[in-house]
Amino acid sequence: MHTVVVGTSGVTASDVLAVARDGARIELSGEAVAALAAAREIVDALAAKPEPVYGVSTGFGALATRHISPELRAQLQRNIVRSHAAGLGPRVEREVVRALMFLRLKTVCSGHTGVRPEVAQTMADVLNAGITPVVYEFGSLGCSGDLAPLSHCALTLMGEGDAEGPDGTVRPAGELLAAHGIAPVELREKEGLALLNGTDGMLGMLIMALADLDRLYKSADITAALSLEALLGTDKVLAPELHAIRPHPGQGASAANMLAVLKGSELTGHHQDDAPRVQDAYSVRCAPQVAGAGRDTMAHARTVAERELASAVDNPVVLPDGRVESNGNFHGAPVAYVLDFLAIAAADLASIAERRTDRLLDKNRSHGLPPFLADDAGVDSGLMIAQYTQAALVSELKRLAVPASADSIPSSAMQEDHVSMGWSAARKLRTAVDNLARVVAVEMYAATRAIELREGLTPAPASQAAITAARAAGVQGPGPDRFLAPDLAAADAFVRDGRLVAAVEGVTGPLQ
């Protein structure tokens, strides 16, 4: 099994995906253990002084003015975890919780938090054992960290609350720890606070969304090319020299992908022989511009994610010169903004895909295709209601594109009077990504059927590879009406798990 070694300088996006989705094991580097021990010595020295230090010998948030005596500090750390583990709603997905815990461990290992090495090792042991704390949907405002979600994770380290074992069964966390030979931690000064203060949940969801969107944007380039082909459109608008004079990188990449898919097609431009068109509709002609803008938005989001991965987000933090200073680095605004940007881009990509699907089904705009791609129009309804489903998904995506980060709601007796709502932005982006996959799948389903209805014209080799792979995956082709939901579910799975991209890349080579 792949092993991820956590040091002091952060981790990579591929590390996060390996731990969250693939169950990679975790090891702490010797450098990280040394940094943890050195920072802990600083915290212990400050804890022994009579002067109050925030997070070490004081209360938290609006209660930070109270100096806590030494005999109450362990109780204070337990209490902050217990009281902050106040989530409600549906359970959060296992991969999100694993990403959340792993990213908190990443910051702990930076040597800026003052957490003892044994606490960090317990975090790694819990992840390696496949134990997943039960975390709930609601409880984070994206400021002062993803407080409630991280608190539920810290509760598991203490042997309290509920967690899911590697077999998928939810049990008391103490029982699961004992079953795997893991001793619960007894938190000391600063440690409770250090386990709760981070942007880890929203960052983990951003990294996973970027991985999923990378595949979906390639898929959308493919389905746009299939639709262009089915509509007998022209590929001249994809010429590199046209995109070079408007040098947005994403636009050029999307155009190049479409051109690669269409290479060798007998369908493109066919309309110029018998049904002249000056130009194709925007949804066809401007596909690279829309998908490209989304790709460039992803590039910006990836830059933000990389910076956040290299960060040590905690409050207070232990600095190399021995100071322990309060700060505002836990504010989620940088991550929240790009999560919202991506939801907007996903909605627009889905919107243009739906417009192409509708064009394929409309006999007045499809250039010779049967109404709704039906076998016997009137007796058969064809894909009429598949487009309804796609339209419903697009409408939902537009609602999900409303930014969460434009909102703020004060908390903690006005101490935390401006928050990012980044967790909420991340949660709705996950739904948006799921819905985008479904929308792209419906376009793929319609476009492949339409191409097969163009008798006498041979599609591009890459298009044919996509059609052949889709049919092998249970996505059926033209014919009389049948129970459509299973076909659409098969198309969704075919797009979502990357088989569409793999089939095409088998002909074109790697797409951009």
DSSP string, 243-271: HHTS--HHHHHHHHHHHHHHTT-SSTTTH
- Tell me whether the omega of the peptide bond preceding residue 459 falls within 30 degrees of 0, making it cis: no
How confident is the model at residue 68, as a pLDDT?
A: 79
Cβ atoms within 10 Å of 266's Cβ, excluding its own: 13
Per-residue confidence band for 417, with pLDDT thresholds at 50, 70 and 90:
confident
Indicate if 217 belongs to the active site.
no
How confident is the model at residue 315, as a pLDDT?
A: 87
Q: Which of 54, 136, 217, 445 is catalytic?
A: 54
Percent of the chain clearing pLDDT 70 (strictly above): 98
The pLDDT mean for the chain works out to: 94
CA gap 389, 181 in Å, rounded: 50
Q: What is the pLDDT of residues 241-298, one digit of tens each?
A: 999 999 999 999 999 999 999 999 999 987 655 566 778 999 999 999 999 999 999 9
Which three-class secondary structure state does DSSP give residue 74?
helix
How confident is the model at residue 67, as a pLDDT?
A: 80
Side-chain-facing half-sphere of 96: CA atoms under 13 Å: 22
Average pLDDT over residues 454-464: 96
Q: Which of 42-51, 295-304, 365-374, 479-488 has the lowest mean pLDDT?
A: 42-51
Residues 6+ apart with CB under 8 A from 506: 465
Instruction: Give me the amino acid identity at 107.
Output: T
Could you tell me how many residues make up the chain? Answer: 512
- Tell me whether the omega of the peptide bond preceding residue 288 falls within 30 degrees of 0, making it cis: no
Q: What is the pLDDT of residues 309-336, one digit of tens each?
A: 999 999 889 998 988 888 988 999 999 9
How confident is the model at residue 143, as a pLDDT?
A: 86
Q: What is the pLDDT of residues 118-171, one digit of tens each?
A: 999 999 999 999 999 999 999 999 987 799 999 999 999 999 999 999 999 999
Q: Is the pLDDT of residue 60 over 70?
A: no
Q: Is the pLDDT of residue 59 over 80?
A: no
Instruction: Give me the amino acid identity at 106.
Output: K
473, 494 contact by CB (below 8 A):
yes
Sign of CA dihedral 293, 299, 303, 306: positive
Kindly report the backbone phi and psi dihedral angles of residue 16, in degrees, each rounded to the nearest multiple of 5, phi listed first: -60, -45
